[in-house]
Amino acid sequence: MSDARTARYRGLFPVVPTTFTETGELDLASQTRCIDFMIDAGSEGLCILANFSEQFLLADDEREVLTRCAIEHVAGRVPVIVTTTHFSSRVCAERSRRAEAMGAAMVMVMPPYHGATFRVPEDKSFEFYARVSDAIHIPIMVQDAPASGTLLSAAFLARMAREIEQVSYFKIETAGAASKLRELIRLGGDAIEGPWDGEEAITLLADLDAGATGAMTGGGYPDGLRPILDDYRAGRRETAIAGYTRWLPLINIENRQCGFLAAKALMKEGGVIACDAPRHPWPGLHPASRAMLMEAARRLDVLALRWAR
C-alpha cells in the first residue's frame, strides 16, 4: 500500500448534499454556501453527485450544472471527487472525461447495476473499469457499496488495482468493512493507494485500525470528524477513540435514522441553506427523527447550527 504520506489524497472527504428549493429546483445559492461551510468546518476534500447527494434524483443536465458550480466555487481550496456512476461503460467514461476537464481530482464509480436484478459478470465489471480508466488521467475510486448488489471480492479489487491504471482508491461500505480493507491492502500492496472508510463513519475506528487512510462521510459535521482523523494520524489513538465515542450517537442517528437528509436538516436549522427538502418522491425527514438529530447535534455544539449566524 502507498504510504499515507505519499498518497495523493487522504483524510476527510464528506459528501456534499444537493440543495433544492421547496418546489424542487436546484438552489445554487444554497449549494455554494453549503460548500463554504463544509470547507470551513474542516473538510480536506469534497465529493459531489454521490448517493448521499441524491444523484438518483438528478437529470443529466443538472449534473453538469452542479459539477461546474461546485468545482468553480471551490476554486482549488480542496480537491473535489465527482461521482460518475452509470451502467454504460461509454456513458460513465464520457461523464468521467467531462468531470476531469472541469477540474475533478478523482471520479468515484460504482460497478454496473440497475434496479434489484440487473448485474454483469465479474469479467464485464473489469472491462467496465478498464474502459473508464482508458478515458481519463485521474484516479478512479471504486465504490463498493451494498446498493449495487454486486459482489466485489478483495481479490478482484486488488487485481483491478494492479492491472487497471487509474483504479487506485476504494471506498468500502460492505458488511465487515474493516476485514475487507485489511485483506485488500494485503493482496494489493502498493497498488492500493487509497483504502477508504465510508457509510457515514459508522465503522470509522475499525476501518482506521485496518489501514484506512481516508473517510467519505456525510457532510453535516466535518468539525466533529476531522479531529478524530487528525488524532489518529498523529498517533493519538486514545484521544481519537474518546472523540469518536463522543460523536458516535450523532453518527448513529445519521446512519440508522436520518440518512442523507441529516446533513441538509442540520444546515437548514443553522441557516446555511434555505431548504432541506429532498426531491419527490423521496419522503421528507420525520419530525421525531429531526428532533432526535437536533438534540444530539446541540449537545455537541455542531458548527452547522451556528456557522451562518
- Range list of β-strands (E), the chain: 11-12, 46-48, 80-83, 106-109, 113-114, 118-119, 140-144, 167-172, 194-197, 214-215
Q: How far apart are the first and last CA of the chain?
A: 44
Q: Can 268 be counted among the known catalytic residues? A: no
How far is residue 288's CA from residue 307's CA, in Å, rounded to a whole number?
24
How far is residue 297's CA from residue 89's CA, in Å, rounded to a whole number?
41
* Residues 238 and 36 sit within 8 Å (Cβ to Cβ): no
Torsion angle of the four alpha carbons 146, 259, 11, 242, in this order, in degrees rounded to the nearest 10: -110
- Taking residue 309's Cβ as centre, other Cβ atoms within 10 Å add up to 7
* Annotated catalytic residue, options 171, 180, 264, 268: 171
How far is residue 78's CA from residue 303's CA, in Å, rounded to a whole number?
19
How far is residue 168's CA from residue 194's CA, in Å, rounded to a whole number?
6
Which residues lie closer than 8 Å to 299 by C-beta, 6 or more apart? none
How far is residue 284's CA from residue 258's CA, in Å, rounded to a whole number?
10
Catalytic center residues: 171
